[in-house]
Amino acid sequence: AVAHAVISVKGMTCAACSGAVEAAIQRLDGVQKVSVALLQEVAKVSFDPNTTRADDLVTAVEDAGFDGSLIS
């Protein structure tokens, strides 16, 4: 199965920031696709809900040093 999450990511100011967020999410098990939009301040993630929870994605954003919250 594939689940999709949209996460609000605040605090990104450059392309290296969005790259860091992307890398942080991508390295979680079960994550299939990540795209982070710097200007829109969102991350869209496709992931296996049996392996990873949406909360884990938010935690990865937080651990990377940004302010993450689940939108949907």
Return residues touching ligand 9UX (CB under 6 A): 13-14, 16-17
Which of 33, 28, 30, 38 lies closest to 59, judged by CA?
A: 28
Minimum separation from the CB atom of position 22 to ligand 9UX (A)? 12
C-beta of 6 vs 17, nearer to ligand 9UX: 17
Residue 51 Cβ, how far from ligand 9UX at the closest point, in Å?
28
Question: How big is the chain, counted in residues?
Answer: 72
Q: How many helices (H) and strands (E) does the chain have?
A: 2, 4
How far apart are the C-alpha atoms of 21 and 61, rounded to whole Å?
Answer: 6
Least distance (Å) between residue 1 CB and ligand 9UX: 34
Nearer to ligand 9UX, 11 or 49 (CB): 11
